[in-house]
Amino acid sequence: MNFVSTQFALFFVSVFLLYWVLPRRGQNLFLLAASWLFYAAWDWRFLGLILLSTAVDFVCGQRIHAAGDPRIRRVWLAVSLVVNLGILAYFKYAGFFLDSLVELAGLVGWSLSQPTLAIILPVGISFYTFQTLSYSLDIYLRRLEPTRSLVEFATFVAFFPQLVAGPIVRAREFLYQLEAERTFRWDRFEGGAVRFLTGFFKKAVIADNLALLLVDPVFSSPGDYSTGTLWLAALGYAAQIYADFSGYSSMAIGAAGMLGFDLPENFRFPYLARDFSDFWRRWHITMSRFFRDYVYIPLGGSRSSTWRTRGNLAATTLVSGLWHGAAWTFVAWGGLHGIFIMANHAIRGEVRSWGPAAGLLGWGVTFTGVLLAWILFRAPSFHVAAVYLQGLWGQTGLVIVPGGLVLFCLAAVVVDHLAGWVEERSPGVLQRVPPVLRGGWFVFLVVFAWHAMAREANPFIYFQF
């Protein structure tokens, strides 16, 4: 059930109207049923995976908290890790690792038959698996006490606005909201609706039009296009993936807000980043903090020697790359960002001594590095990525002259980040814009979206992860 669909609009309006006439306990139970129905609409067979993950982590959380013996606590944590990561490994990575094993055997002269695995990737499995894991881990680390309500825990796991593509929400951010009384407030509804509309515009107008008119044709055959068109399409993909994923996150946050819940921010104008560490503090924030808290810090973080710290960074970014997809291109993309961050740490002190020019230079280097890395992320294979990157430095071929809609979409992302730049330097300034002007702006968004939505709606990019 895609957010950009009539089906979801009817579903959400029905849920919204019924939800607000129920008492708190009824609201939670109704949200749980609606969330399971929402997920079953994708493929009802995979609803059982959410039920299994929910039951396992609910029990494990109780047992970890109740156990006095550290060994028993570790056993129950291990149960949670094995079940959740085992499910994720099978559905997302089994085919990838088997294919890699066959290819590796071929390189050393062994002949292995190619196994056939018809495994369908359950939508959102990476997101809700991390969400339930954070519950068990936080209880083990004594950051959280388990909930006694199975309904509330199951609602936390399956909450439909952010179920399939985040933000990755932690139990200590959400369970207390399920325990509190919620009453309808117009200001929350208005803020949530505006946020949802903003995300809808990013996805349906900016991301989908850039994909249809520019990005997909060029990435399908990069060797056929001129250098200028390749650079334009690379910029287009940087804008597309930002508008697509931040658009989903905004819709999720907006839908949750209309139902009385606060979800954590997932994006903070990432292309304003002045270094690569800053980029990951702005891009997919909830994933970055998950890997920071549960991978990087347990490995030792920055508390060890310089080389050990760099190794921890490399390991974390490689795991992050693999999380994004079962392909070596994603691993290489994560490793490339690891190299960027390690280089960033190595020269940070020297760059700061350059004065005011350091900020502008840092932004330019960071944006260029992120842009080139996106090519590896988007390309279906190393060969396609190599052809694309080679073509950036001098190649004749087809030329795409961007039309007005493509230029508008690219400019919209620039304006979005300029507004973020202003807001970061003068917090609250955008909120002081007269309500009439804000209202007119969003009327414009609605009218423009109605006329400029892409002819073909693409699935959200992060649904595949």
Q: What is the pLDDT of residue 463?
A: 67
Separation CA 207–CA 329 (nearest Å)? 22
Kindly state whether residue 11 falls inside one of the protein's structural domains: no
In a shared domain, residues 345 and 389: yes
Domain membership flag for residue 109: yes
234 with 336, same domain?
Answer: yes
Q: Which of 182, 203, 233 is the last residue of a domain?
A: 182
Instruction: Tell me, yes or no, whether 126 and 226 share the same domain.
Output: no
Q: Do 156 and 194 sit in the same domain of this protein?
A: no
- Separation of first and last alpha carbons in the chain: 16
Domain assignment present for residue 6? The answer is no
Residue-level pLDDT at 58 = 94
Domain assignment of residue 162, yes or no: yes
Q: Which domain holds residue 67?
A: 22-182
- DSSP string over 149-190: -HHHHHHHHH-GGGTTT-----HHHHHHHHHS-----HHHHH
Our answer to whether residue 65 is catalytic in this structure is: no
Say if residue 249 is in the same domain as residue 354.
Answer: yes
Report yes or no on 292 lying in a domain.
yes
* Spatial separation of the C-alpha atoms in residues 24 and 330, rounded to whole Å: 43
Q: How far is CA 269 from CA 218, 236, 349, 359, 418, in A?
A: 26, 16, 24, 16, 9
CA distance 335 to 317: 6
In the Cβ-directed half-sphere of 217, how many Cα atoms lie within 13 Å? 14
As given in the structure block, the two tokens for residue 355 are: 């004065």
Q: Given this model, what pLDDT does residue 428 score?
A: 75
The answer as to whether 5 is a domain residue is no
Determine the residue type at 126: S
Residues 94 and 31 in one domain: yes
Beta bridge mates, 398: 225
| pLDDT of res. 311 | 84
Q: Which of 324, 337, 345, 451 is catalytic?
A: 324
pLDDT of res. 196: 93
The residue out of 156, 182, 208 marking a domain boundary is 182
Whether residues 147 and 205 fall in one domain = no
- Tell me, what's the pLDDT at 209? 92
Residues 424, 351 within the same domain: yes
CB 134 within 8 A of CB 294: yes
Do 150 and 228 belong to one domain?
no
* pLDDT per 10-residue tile (average), the chain, 465 residues: 85 95 89 93 85 93 91 94 89 71 64 62 82 92 92 94 87 91 90 90 92 93 93 96 94 95 94 92 92 88 78 87 84 91 75 68 92 94 93 89 90 91 80 75 77 73 70
Tokens of 19: 């939800």
> Contact, 131 vs 57, CB < 8 A?
no
Residues linked to residue 225 through DSSP beta bridges, in sequence order: 398
What pLDDT score does 306 carry? 76
Domain check: are 46 and 170 in the same one? yes
Inter-axis angle of helices 186-201 and 227-258, nearest 10: 160
Residue 293 lies in a domain: yes
Do 366 and 405 belong together in one domain?
yes
Residue 17 within any structural domain of the chain: no
Length of the chain: 465
Q: Are residues 161 and 68 part of one domain?
A: yes
Considering 182, 203, 218, which residue would you say is the last residue of a domain? 182
How many domains, in total, are found in the chain? 2
pTM score: 0.91
